[in-house]
């Protein structure tokens, strides 16, 4: 009999889909709010990424949010953007049960190789053994962890863009992930949304996407909203992340305030 397919919503299924370059949609979380993260995980997203670099989440919150993402009814797995390309924070995120890590500021193929090594146990890497919660969610054996845990390299600097072909060819790397704000600034933008950089920014995205496609790895990008995520997927990106919980909290609060003031004659 053929091997059974992994259960949807599990790290095994997510890793397999990402490596097959299937289209995946995720959500970004910067708030240390496991209850709201739990609700988001039940909406149908393929993953929820917890931001340990710029987000407001300490380790206890990271652990609680990863546990919340695995709630009954969740369709998502938990990813973590590590605070740095360092084995210690990467290992802690994985030990807490993350199905993968997004590693920031990857400038060279060596940086990418270091990120892969931080995710893999010896002899394939340098991850220290102590899977804590991951042993329950993914499995205690190194072979299980290697099969079910993904590593994604962020392309967000001019150097990373220049070296993207070599980065994408790094053995063991599952995919790349574009940080659009940093990349636009790195290309000379006066701000993270500077419209004067639209054309070179779009050319850079095309270069990165093509490099990933040629290497056969996943190509992901952060987006401001669902419509932009759909557009990027249509362009050939294989996964896209939508906005963030903090951004949406502010947007919806502003919207309701405007409605209330208008209705009350205070606009």
The pLDDT value recorded for residue 9 is: 85
pLDDT band at 7 (very low <50, low <70, confident <90, very high): confident
The pLDDT value recorded for residue 26 is: 98
Task: Tokens for 107, please give them.
Answer: 């400038």
Q: Per-residue DSSP letters for 131-146? A: -TTHHHHT-SSHHHHH
pLDDT band at 202 (very low <50, low <70, confident <90, very high): very high
Residues above pLDDT 90, as percent of the chain: 94
Q: What is the pLDDT of residues 59-111, one digit of tens each?
A: 999 999 999 999 999 999 999 999 999 999 999 999 999 999 999 999 999 99
Catalytic residue selected from 54, 124, 222, 248: 54
The pLDDT value recorded for residue 4 is: 61
Active site residue 222: no
181 neighbors 223 (Cβ within 8 angstroms)? no
Contacts of 63-66 spanning 24+ positions with Cβ under 8 A: 63/96, 63/97, 63/133, 64/32, 64/34, 65/29, 65/32, 65/33, 65/34, 65/37, 66/96, 66/97, 66/98, 66/133
pLDDT of 172 above 70: yes
pLDDT of 188 above 50: yes
Q: What is the pLDDT of residues 204-248, one digit of tens each?
A: 999 999 999 999 999 999 999 999 999 999 999 999 999 999 999
Task: Tokens for 49, please give them.
Answer: 């990424």
Give me the phi and psi of 221, to 5 degrees please: -155, 145
Rounded CA gap, 109 and 111, in Å?
5
pLDDT band at 265 (very low <50, low <70, confident <90, very high): low
Rounded CA gap, 177 and 81, in Å?
10
The pLDDT value recorded for residue 8 is: 77
* Higher pLDDT, residue 5 or 59: 59
pLDDT band at 1 (very low <50, low <70, confident <90, very high): very low
């Amino acid at each position: 009999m053929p091997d059974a397919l992994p259960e949807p919503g599990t790290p095994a299924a997510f890793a397999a889909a990402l490596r097959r370059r299937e289209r995946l949609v995720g959500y970004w979380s910067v708030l240390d709010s496991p209850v709201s993260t739990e609700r988001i995980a039940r909406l149908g997203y393929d993953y929820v990424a917890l931001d340990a670099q710029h987000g407001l989440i300490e380790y206890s919150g990271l652990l609680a949010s990863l546990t919340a993402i695995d709630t009954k009814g969740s369709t998502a797995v938990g990813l973590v953007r590590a605070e740095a390309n360092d084995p210690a924070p990467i290992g802690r995120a994985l030990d807490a049960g993350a199905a993968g890590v997004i590693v920031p500021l990857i400038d060279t193929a060596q940086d990418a190789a270091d990120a892969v090594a931080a995710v893999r146990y010896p002899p394939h890497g340098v991850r220290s053994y102590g899977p804590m919660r991951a042993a329950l969610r993914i499995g205690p054996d190194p072979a299980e962890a290697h099969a079910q845990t993904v590593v994604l390299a962020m392309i967000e600097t001019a150097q990373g863009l220049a070296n993207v072909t070599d980065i994408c060819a790094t053995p063991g790397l599952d995919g790349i992930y574009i940080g659009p704000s940093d990349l636009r600034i790195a290309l000379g933008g006066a701000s993270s949304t500077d419209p004067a950089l639209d054309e070179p920014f779009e050319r850079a995205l095309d270069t990165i996407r093509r490099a990933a496609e040629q290497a056969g790895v996943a190509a992901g990008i952060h987006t401001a909203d669902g419509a932009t995520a759909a557009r990027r997927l249509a362009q050939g990106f294989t996964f896209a992340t939508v906005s963030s919980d903090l951004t949406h909290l502010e947007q919806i609060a502003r919207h309701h305030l405007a409605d209330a003031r208008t209705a009350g004659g205070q606009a």
